[in-house]
Amino acid sequence: MKIKQTGLVFTLSLFLVAAVIVQMAMYSLHLFSNWNLMFTVFEACHNLFRAIGLSSMNIFLEVLILSTIALIVIVLMKQIARYITFSKRLSLLQDESVTKKVIVQYDLDQITVITSEAPIALTYGLIKPKIVLSTALVNMLTEEELRAVICHEQFHQQHRDPLKKFLITLFVAAIWYVPILKWVSKHYQTLREIEADKFAMLQTNNMLDLSSALLKLLKNEHRQRDAFVVSFADTSVNDRIQHILSPEKEVHATLPVGTILYSVFIVLGLTVMFTVATP
């Protein structure tokens, strides 16, 4: 089975995550329904694992829930801290004169040009994504190449791709025991970049400007790995170049049947365990 649309990839990850989280929530509500709200975490870890008499399945499920919550909190706190630092750094580096020039020239809003010797083109932000370019990039590219890059980033901005990337990163970190999510993360980003390239080529009606801009950025590689950032030259560049040169050729990813079956088995197994553990 082959997959071409990013929406289906994203939906697949959401379905698997929802299946796990709903089961965790139902089990947790069952436990909490008979508790005093001031009681400690999972009734003092289920009364210290039932006074060390231990109930292996309940212990496993409670540890799984607690570890998943802990990972979500850790990833969120880490990314929030990095987001604040990243935003402050960008505000300090903003070149207001070049930013105004680019806004007027390309009829844009929600864009910032920063002073940097590294060529940078990215979209960041979860609620109101903003395009960020560097002065080095503006100076390095021709007007047509820069327009293609901006159109590419506008696709990410309009579809809130930094938020989607952030959610998938969170899912992969917190629900690591469902292996298909890692595959989804990798291929979703690849297919999304190709869709953004398609959008840029349609808007500019020229594939050469986009491909030459991509090659120039590759030679002066600068990648931003944060979960809330989508960077122009960050993902599967070879696939993207092949698609730009042969846009009529469909680009798709082959679903790993074995990994999918293993993931479904894990989700179903957890569902059975949660059902049995909830009388």
Q: How many C-beta neighbours within 10 Å does residue 9 have?
A: 24
Alpha-carbon distance of 160 to 112, in angstroms, equals: 17
Q: What is the pLDDT of residue 180?
A: 82
Residue type, 186: K
Nearest Cα neighbor of 152 from 220, 235, 242, 251 is 235
Nearest Cα neighbor of 45 from 54, 37, 36 is 54
Alpha-carbon distance of 26 to 275, in angstroms, equals: 9
Two tokens at 248?
């009529």
Q: Are 121 and 133 in contact (CB under 8 A)?
A: yes
Backbone angles phi, psi at 9, to 5 degrees: -65, -45
Q: What is the pTM of this model?
A: 0.78
CA 21 to chain centroid, in Å, comes to 19
Flag residues of the chain having pLDDT under 70.
1-10, 12-13, 30-56, 219-226, 228, 232-255, 276-279
Distance in angstroms between the alpha carbons of the first and the last residue of the chain: 39
- Continuous segment of H or E residues that includes residue 6: helix 6-32
pLDDT in tens, 156-184: 999 899 998 888 888 888 888 888 888 88
Q: What is the pLDDT of residue 3?
A: 45
Q: Are 253 and 191 in contact (CB under 8 A)?
A: yes
Two tokens at 162?
């930094």
Q: Are 113 and 136 in contact (CB under 8 A)?
A: no
Q: What is the pLDDT of residue 273?
A: 76
Q: What is the pLDDT of residue 249?
A: 59
Q: What is the pLDDT of residue 115?
A: 92
Q: Are 120 and 137 in contact (CB under 8 A)?
A: yes
260, burial (CB in 10 Å: exposed 0-12, middle 13-18, buried 19+): middle
